Structure 1
Amino acid sequence: MSDFRETIDVDRSPEDVWAYVMDPARLPEWQASAVVAEPLDAGPVHVGSRVRVTRHVGRRDIPMTMEYTEYDPPHAWGMQGIDGPIRGHVHGEIAPLDDGRRSRVTLELDFEGKGVGKVLLPLIVRPQVRKELPINERLLKDRLEHEAA
C-alpha cells in the first residue's frame, strides 16, 4: 500500500501524456516542489537510467537522484530515490480511455527516511506531499489539456 495515491483523467492520449511526463525538463511545470530535473545518463531512457531532481522541501532546495525501476511506454513507470535523507518510491500508470483519446493517470508515492530523513519525513515531507500531490495532478491536467489547444 502506498503512502499517497492520486488519479486524474486527462483529455490527451496516453502517448501524449507519456511524452510529457517522461521529459525531465517539464517536471517543474507540473510538480510544485520540483526546481529543476535533468537526466544523468546519455541515450534513451531504460530501467536503470537516472535523473537528478532538485526539490524545494521545507525551506531548502534538496538535490536527489532517482533511478528508473520500471519503464513500459506508454503504460507505466517506476522510480526510486538512491541517495539523500529522503528517498521516494514512485509508481505511475497511464490507462487509455475512450479508445485512447483520453487517459487516466495514477501516481503512487512512498517514502523512506535515512538518518535525519527519519525525522523530516513525518514533520515536513509527508505534510508537503499530502498538500502538493493533488495540486500536481491538476497542474499536469491543465498543462496537457491547454497545450493541446
Structure 2
Amino acid sequence: MSRIEEAIDISRRPDEVFSYLTDPKHIAEWEESAEAVRTLSEGPLGVGSRFQVQRRIGRLKVPMTMEVTEFDPPRSWHFHGVDGPVRSDLQGTIEPLDDGERSRMTLSLDLEPHGIGKVLVPLVVKPLVRKEIPRDEAHLKELLEAGTA
C-alpha cells in the first residue's frame, strides 16, 4: 500500500509538540477515530513500549495494539501495529522552524491489511484515513496553539 503523508506547521516549540503527540493518553483528544487508549507497558514511553487504541472505523470498533519502534525526542517516532486486521505503521517527524519557536510536524502512515483487512483497507479504511489525517492535524494544531493541550 502507498503511504499517506501530511504535514502541518504549528506555533509551538518542537519539544512541546513531541511531548503531547507521543503521549498515548492524548491520542483520543486529537485523533477523530480514536475512542480510547490503554497503556500496556510500565514506565515512560520508549522503544518497546506498547499501547492499545480502540478505533471506530465506520460502524466497527477495532482495537489496535501499537509498539514503539523508534523514539528520538523531539525529532521523530515510529509506532507499528502488531495485531488486528488493519495494522498501522505511523512515522512522525518534527522539524524546528523560526529558531525553534514553531514546528513542522509530518505524519506518514501506511496500513497493513491482514485477513479481512485485505478487503477493508482499500475499500473502506484507506479512504476514511485519507480524509481524517488532515482533520486530525488541524485539530492538533488548534489544541496546541490554544494552549488547551
> Which residue of the partner structure matches residue 34 of structure 1?
34
Corresponding residue SS for 1:145: helix
Alpha-carbon deviation of 1:2?
Answer: 4.8
> Which residue of the partner structure matches residue 63 of structure 2?
63
Q: Which runs of 4+ in 1 moved over 6 A?
A: none
The correspondence of residues 56-135 of structure 1 with structure 2, limited to 5 A, is 56-135=56-135
Alpha-carbon deviation of 1:148?
Answer: 6.3
> Which residue of the partner structure matches residue 19 of structure 2?
19
Q: CA separation in 2, counterparts of 1:23 and 1:137?
A: 16
Amino acid at match of 2:7: T
Corresponding residue SS for 2:20: helix
- Is the 1:6–1:134 Cα contact (8 Å) retained in structure 2? yes
For structure 1, the 5+ residue unaligned runs are none
> Which residue of the partner structure matches residue 45 of structure 2?
45
Q: Any idea what the Cα deviations from partners look like across 1:74-129, whole Å, max 9, x if unmatched? A: 10000110000000100000111111100000000001110000000011100110
- Is the 1:68–1:80 Cα contact (8 Å) retained in structure 2? yes
- Is the 1:2–1:108 Cα contact (8 Å) retained in structure 2? no
> Which residue of the partner structure matches residue 141 of structure 2?
141
Q: CA separation in 2, counterparts of 1:130 and 1:96?
A: 25
Q: TM-score, normalised by structure 2?
A: 0.96
Alpha-carbon deviation of 1:147?
Answer: 1.3
Amino acid at match of 1:10: I
> What's the % identity of the aligned pairs?
52
Corresponding residue SS for 2:15: helix
Alpha-carbon deviation of 1:38?
Answer: 2.2
Q: CA separation in 1, counterparts of 2:141 and 2:17?
A: 9
Alpha-carbon deviation of 1:136?
Answer: 0.6
Alpha-carbon deviation of 1:12?
Answer: 0.2
Alpha-carbon deviation of 1:31?
Answer: 0.5
Amino acid at match of 2:63: P
For structure 2, the 5+ residue unaligned runs are none
